Amino acid sequence: MRLVFGLVLILGIGLAGFAAYMAKNRIGEYQSTVEDQRRALASQVELTKVYVVNKRMAYGQKLNKSDVSVMSWPKEGVPEGAFVDPKALFPDGDELRTVLRVMEKHEAILKAKVTAPGEDAGVSSRLAKGMRAFALRVDVSSGVSGFLRPGDRVDVYWTGDSQGREVTQLIDTGITLLAVDQIADGDRSAPTIARTVTVSASPQQVAALALAQSTGRLTLALIGADDQDEVAAVEVDQNQLLGIADPVRVQRQAKKVCTIRTRRGGDVVEIPIRCAE
């Protein structure tokens, strides 16, 4: 009996050792395969260094060197405007940048999401060359019920008197909002009833908007994020709105008068006569 027990024990130990040996070989083969695939992938995809944030950054925060890390990124997939050179990100050493858009952890730092070195997150940092910031008065009805956010695009309609009739017409389209009230954070999602909105406009547009604002009422219409269609001229008056035809103006012809001239003494006199048919 003891002999049988001893044989079974020896057989069990042998099988366990054999299984461990086979498992070790399988694990070694798997690791070798993974390493081969990793080397093959690295040889096929060219990588480069991209600067990312190492924590969540919100609008208005200062971007320090301690907030930045370097990650390997597929060279062909580097986002436009990403920083790959530390001298480009911090060209003046300790001069900091300011965050303009929320960035999540390990997100690439883009030029569109930070200010220039040393600048704050004010409206002036968002103005393109040759553009001006101009404020428009709005309320709950003219300001799209408070759903406007910085970065949105709007059409501007003017309502006022034109040649004795009330009209509404489109005076400008595709204007970009820089700020709503005194808030320039485009990541804000909660609706706010604004009293003013600040838009980016050329000097010519500023003059037109200022005149329109002083002579009538302005209304904004929000444009869809993916809408790039051009809008034709739009004008509606009260008659068009109610379907009333414009009154026809009848021009009355003046009665024709025929005369002859005759001299009476030293005077020349015109005498009416019947006109020839």
Residue 146 above 80 pLDDT? no
- % of residues, the chain, pLDDT over 70: 78
Q: What mean pLDDT do residues 239-251 have?
A: 67
Between CA 199 and CA 153 the distance in angstroms is 9
Residue 91 burial by Cβ neighbours in a 10 Å radius (0-12, 13-18, 19+): exposed
Structure tokens, 201: 């406009």
106, 42, 104: which is closest to 75 by C-alpha? Answer: 42
Structure tokens, 257: 């008068």
Helix or strand or coil: residue 246? coil
Burial profile 17-36: b = 16 or more Cβ within 10 angstroms, e = fewer: eeeeeeeeeeeeeeeeeeee
- Give the per-residue pLDDT at 186: 60
Per-residue pLDDT of 114-144, as tens digits, reads 888 877 767 777 788 899 999 999 888 888 8
Between CA 90 and CA 248 the distance in angstroms is 71
Between CA 97 and CA 64 the distance in angstroms is 8
- % of residues, the chain, pLDDT over 90: 25
Per-residue pLDDT of 74-113, as tens digits, reads 888 888 989 988 888 888 766 788 888 889 999 999 988 8
pLDDT, mean over the chain: 81
Between CA 104 and CA 110 the distance in angstroms is 12
Q: What mean pLDDT do residues 17-37 have?
A: 75
Helix or strand or coil: residue 98? strand
**pTM above the 0.85 mark?**
no
Neighbours of 277 (CB within 10 A): 3
Burial profile 114-142: b = 16 or more Cβ within 10 angstroms, e = fewer: bbebeeebeeeebeeeebebbebebeeeb
Per-residue pLDDT of 246-257, as tens digits, reads 665 555 565 666
Residue 181 burial by Cβ neighbours in a 10 Å radius (0-12, 13-18, 19+): middle
13, 186, 205: which is closest to 101 by C-alpha? Answer: 186
Per-residue pLDDT of 155-211, as tens digits, reads 999 999 888 888 999 999 999 998 888 776 665 656 667 788 999 999 999 999 999
